[in-house]
């Protein structure tokens, strides 16, 4: 049985027969396209571009933003006093287990256990939520 | 003096699932639509946001999302020889109030009713003979077939984001689905949810016994989903706060996140909340409605809203109440068995279930969803099931669900445990994680005395007579519960629990403890004005510009929950108004 791990093919269930480094992706690299699929779970409540009538705050320009800082969104007290700034590391911890990272926040989401999926998601978010005005 | 407003094409009374579906479909078709909702506005954020929504005391004990019985309720008696008394606290059932209605606080179980349900009288006459149906059981066929309704079931399942597994696609049996299902055109829009441990045990045990277990279809989204209208649903997080709560994750198919926002995006649609309709206004012939009278309960101001069409889309009980208050159709009299409106009230007997306790198993009941479950239909939808052996019509589903593990209300303890005190506390702590329930839910056939009328004594906050309910469980119900309850107990014993309670026998109906919000009938549909209040398009025979949409139209109650056909019938009626009634107003045939 073949299984892909970080762009490297292994034969599982016995000795490693072949190691082929995929030319299209480096070992451990996040995949923006896969992240877009992961994001479908988030799209229920979050817009990427600041538009629309959503239950969660927009993720436009989320990277570098202080958590709970959008004036137009009514955050939980937990989120406002969290003192978190969103970057790849804090987003990863939050998405892995939202209630463990910021206890008492209002996001109704169980979290994503798979590290690879989280990496893909964060890569997608970084690309898709850039504020065109500030860039 | 009421303020008379400008006439619209359609006024909708109550904005839950049925009102929301009509509002969306008909405002998108260009009709000018006003919806009057007697409760308030609601949205997921902030109304259902965590952590505040997970307040069991507020929502599950004090019923924050429900009708306030201090303003309007019904009176109750077991039989015409008893005096009736008002239900001053909600108990047996919980009519919702506010935008989205019961579609907000429901669990999400979404069945398609069976072919036997659609042919309720003719099936038994053919299979068991005319004498099998008791003389005082006014059971009758639905005026449309399952096949006619199939596309509308499909539409509702896709709108609400139903998770399930097909058992029969266009006649081809599907492994893993309901073996006894009627043919459907395609599978559910979402795969089933992950079963609980107790459900897995039940699944394996019943399969081994030769029964046909399958995942119960439910409008709790197993994954993120965008419905055909573009409404977005989130993935269920198994938080166990469906029933009596709004969903924090937008994972429960509900009108306030699907059809209602779509209607509200239409310039021809207007919503007025806190607008309590007291009457449908009829002209002097009493054959035509001219609109509705309502009061803004936040100001006390009275209004008249003229409309070419009136759609009653309130809770099933309140639809019947409004018909009787407005003089639409002839009120039913159980003594003479004359009249129609109020007839064939049905409920849904439970009580045959068993609770199992295991020293060596942990079930984690707090990981729950309102509707997920494993069911068997061998004693209900199965048309080979020998009802002569049971001695009764109908049947019951046997299901392991796990709708919640709420700390105040969910306290399973073995038989013989004291009801309070130190021993009770010890037992409830020990068994909270170690109990599972096998539920039995029975169909309910009508009886000539189980009916609504207006109460001669008690009045609501507007001085109008309350609706009076006369109801009791009958011999047929007791036989179904006894027979299928034994089957459930047999399955339970096979699981070798440390101990088990039940099955209980069905006694007299008790309106105090919660059982189910599955009240049906009173404004029933049928093939002629002689046997029904409504025709097959849920149009009043007597006042054809009034449509009465909801479970009030069911001539009997299935062992299945009502919301599937309620949603399907709302789409069916909306279609008939859009494609036929608008072009040629009048009684549709």
Same domain, B4 and B114: yes
Q: Are residues B452 and B438 in the same domain?
A: no
End residue of a domain, out of B456, B484, B507: B507
Q: Report the chain A residue with the minimal C-alpha distance to residue B238.
A: A110
Please list, residue by residue across B10-26, b when 16 or more beta carbons sit within 10 angstroms of its beta carbon and e when fewer do. Answer: bbbbbbbbbbbbbbbbb
pLDDT tens string B219-258: 999 999 999 999 999 999 999 999 999 999 999 999 999 9
Which residues in chain B touch residue A55, judged by CB atoms under 8 angstroms apart? 43-45, 49, 250
User: What is the pLDDT averaged over residues B190-219?
Assistant: 98
Residues B285 and B319 in one domain: yes
In-domain check, residue B541:
yes
Q: Does the residue B6 lie in any domain?
A: yes
* Domain presence at residue B323: yes
Chain B contact set for A112 (CB, 8 A): none
Average pLDDT in the A55-75 region?
93
Q: For the whole prediction, is pTM greater than 0.90?
A: yes
The CA distance from B42 to B64, in Å, is 12
Q: Is B33 in the same domain as B132? A: yes
| B265 touching chain A per CB within 8 A | no
Same domain, B479 and B437: yes
Catalytic residue among B78, B321, B518, B556: B518
Q: Can you tell me the mean pLDDT for B385-390? A: 94
The answer to whether residue B241 is catalytic is: no
Does pLDDT of B173 surpass 90? yes
Interface ipTM above 0.85: no
**What is the distance between the terminal CA atoms of chain A, rounded to a whole angstrom?**
46
**Is the predicted pLDDT of residue A5 greater than 80, yes or no?**
no
Average pLDDT of B3-17?
A: 98
Give which of A45, A52, A55 to mutate to test B binding, by max B Cβ within 10 Å: A55
User: At which of B507, B525, B552 does a domain end?
Assistant: B507
Retrieve residue B331's tokens: 């009120």
**Confidence (pLDDT) at B502:** 86
C-alpha to C-alpha distance for A86 and A109, rounded to whole angstroms: 17
Among residues B46, B226, B237, the alpha carbon closest in space to that of A56 is found at B46
Q: What is the pLDDT of residues B420-474, one digit of tens each?
A: 999 999 999 999 999 999 999 999 999 999 999 999 999 999 999 999 999 999 9
Q: What is the CATH number of the domain that holds B284?
A: 3.50.50.60
Q: Are residues B361 and B274 in the same domain?
A: no
What confidence tens digit (pLDDT) does each residue in B476-493 have?
Answer: 999 999 999 999 999 999
A77 reaches B (C-beta below 8 A)? no
Mean pLDDT of B44-54: 91
- CB contacts < 8 A (A, B): 46
Is the CB of residue B97 less than 8 Å from the CB of residue B105? Answer: no
205-244 in chain B: CB under 8 A from chain A: 223-224, 232-235, 237-239
Q: Specify if B76 maps to a domain.
A: no
Other C-beta atoms closer than 10 Å to the C-beta of A114 total: 11
A39 touches chain B (CB under 8 A): no
Q: 3-state class of B436 per DSSP? A: strand
Whether residues B25 and B141 fall in one domain: yes
Final residue belonging to a domain, choices B454, B482, B507: B507
Same domain for B459 and B520, yes or no, is yes
pLDDT value of residue B91: 96
> Would you give the distance in Å from CA A82 to the centre of its chain?
19
Tell me the C-alpha distance between B576 and B455, whole Å.
35
Shared domain for B24 and B155, answered yes or no, is yes
* Residue B61, in any domain of the structure: no
Structural domain total, chain B: 2
Q: Are residues B240 and B134 in the same domain?
A: no
Question: Is B49 within a domain?
Answer: no
Q: Tell me, what's the pLDDT at A2?
A: 42
For residue B222, being part of any structural domain is answered with yes
pLDDT recorded at residue B119: 95
Residue B8 has pLDDT above 60, yes or no: yes
Residue B53: closest CA among chain A residues belongs to which residue?
A106
Task: Specify the pLDDT at position B292.
Answer: 98
Instruction: Based on the fold, state whether residues B437 and B552 are members of the same structural domain.
Output: no
User: Residue A119 — left, alpha, or beta (φ > 0 → left; ψ -120 to 50 → alpha)?
Assistant: alpha
B301-351 tens-digit pLDDT: 999 999 999 999 999 999 999 999 999 999 999 999 999 999 999 999 988
Of A44, A76, A104, Cβ closest to residue B233: A44
Q: CA nearest B234 in A: which residue?
A: A44
Find residues 477-506 of chain B whose CB sits inside 8 Å of chain A: none
Check: CB of residue B25 under 8 Å from CB of residue B578: yes
Q: Do B224 and A41 touch (CB under 8 A)?
A: yes
| Residues B488 and B534 reside in one and the same domain | no
pLDDT tens per residue, range B145-164 = 999 999 999 999 999 999 99
pLDDT of residue A131: 63
Containing structural domain, residue B569: 1-39+87-160+255-346+446-472+515-589
* Cβ atoms of residues B345 and B520 within 8 Å: yes
* In-domain check, residue B73: no
CB-closest option in B43, B249, B261 to A108: B249
pLDDT for position B199:
98
pLDDT at residue A6 greater than cutoff 90: no
């Amino acid at each position: 049985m073949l299984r892909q791990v970080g762009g490297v093919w292994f034969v599982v269930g016995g000795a490693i027969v072949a190691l082929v480094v995929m030319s299209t992706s480096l070992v451990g690299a996040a995949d923006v396209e896969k992240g877009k699929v992961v994001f479908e779970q988030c799209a229920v409540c979050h817009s990427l571009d600041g538009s629309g009538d959503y239950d969660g705050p927009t993720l436009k320009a989320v990277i570098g933003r202080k958590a709970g800082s959008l004036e137009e969104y009514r955050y939980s007290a937990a989120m406002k006093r969290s003192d978190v700034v969103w970057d790849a590391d804090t987003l990863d911890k939050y998405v892995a287990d939202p209630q463990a990272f910021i206890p008492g926040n209002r996001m109704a989401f169980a979290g994503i256990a798979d590290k690879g999926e989280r990496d893909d998601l964060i890569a997608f978010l970084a690309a898709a939520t850039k504020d065109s005005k500030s860039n | 003096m009421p303020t008379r407003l400008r006439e619209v094409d359609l006024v909708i009374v109550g904005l839950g699932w049925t009102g929301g579906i009509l509002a969306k479909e008909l405002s998108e078709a260009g009709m000018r639509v006003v919806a009057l909702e007697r409760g308030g506005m609601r949205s997921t954020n902030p109304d259902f946001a965590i952590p505040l929504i997970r307040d069991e005391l507020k929502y599950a004990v004090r019923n924050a999302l429900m009708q306030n019985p201090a303003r309007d309720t019904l009176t109750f008696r077991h039989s015409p020889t008893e005096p009736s008394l008002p239900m001053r606290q909600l108990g047996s059932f919980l009519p919702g109030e506010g935008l989205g209605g019961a579609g907000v606080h429901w669990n999400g179980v979404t069945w398609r009713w069976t072919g036997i349900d659609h042919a309720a009288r003719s099936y038994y006459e053919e299979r068991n003979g005319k004498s099998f149906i008791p003389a005082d059981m006014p059971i009758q066929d639905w005026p449309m077939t399952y096949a006619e309704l199939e596309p509308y079931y499909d539409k509702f399942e896709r709108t609400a984001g139903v998770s399930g597994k097909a058992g029969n696609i266009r006649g081809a049996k599907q492994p893993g689905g309901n073996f006894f299902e009627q043919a459907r055109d395609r599978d559910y829009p979402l795969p089933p949810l992950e079963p609980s441990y107790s459900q897995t045990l039940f699944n394996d045990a019943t399969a081994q016994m030769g029964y046909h277990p399958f995942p119960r279809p439910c409008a709790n989204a197993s994954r993120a989903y965008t419905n055909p209208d573009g409404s977005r649903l989130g993935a269920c997080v198994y938080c166990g706060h469906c029933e009596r709560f709004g969903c924090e994750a937008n994972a429960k198919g509900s009108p306030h996140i699907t059809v209602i926002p779509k209607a509200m995006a239409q310039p021809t649609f207007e919503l007025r909340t806190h607008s309590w309709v007291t009457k449908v206004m009829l002209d002097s012939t009493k054959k035509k409605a001219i609109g509705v009278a309502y009061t803004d309960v936040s100001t006390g101001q009275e209004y008249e809203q003229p409309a070419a069409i009136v759609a009653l889309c309130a809770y099933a009980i309140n639809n019947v109440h409004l018909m009787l208050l407005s003089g639409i159709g002839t009120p039913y009299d159980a003594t003479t068995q004359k009249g129609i409106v109020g007839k064939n009230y049905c409920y849904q007997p439970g009580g045959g279930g068993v609770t199992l306790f295991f020293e060596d198993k942990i079930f984690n009941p707090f990981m729950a969803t309102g509707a997920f479950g494993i069911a068997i239909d061998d004693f209900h939808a199965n048309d080979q099931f020998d009802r002569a052996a049971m001695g009764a019509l109908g049947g019951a589903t046997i299901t392991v669900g796990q709708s919640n593990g709420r700390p105040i209300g969910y306290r399973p303890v073995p038989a013989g445990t004291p009801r309070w005190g130190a021993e009770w506390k010890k037992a409830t702590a020990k068994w909270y994680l170690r109990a599972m329930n096998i539920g039995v839910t029975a169909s309910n056939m009508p009886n000539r005395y189980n009916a609504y009328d207006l109460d001669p004594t008690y009045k609501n906050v507007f001085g109008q007579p309350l609706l009076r309910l006369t109801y009791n469980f009958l011999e047929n119900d007791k036989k179904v519960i006894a027979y299928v309850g034994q089957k459930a107990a047999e399955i339970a014993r096979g699981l070798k629990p440390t101990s088990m309670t039940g099955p209980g026998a069905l006694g007299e109906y008790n309106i105090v403890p919660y059982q189910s919000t599955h009240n049906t009938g009173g404004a029933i549909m049928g093939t002629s004005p002689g046997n029904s209040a409504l025709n097959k398009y849920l149009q009043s025979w007597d006042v054809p510009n009034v449509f009465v949409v909801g479970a009030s139209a069911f001539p009997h109650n299935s062992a299945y929950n009502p919301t599937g056909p309620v949603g399907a019938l709302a789409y069916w009626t909306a279609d008939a108004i859009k494609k036929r009634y608008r072009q040629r107003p009048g009684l549709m045939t």
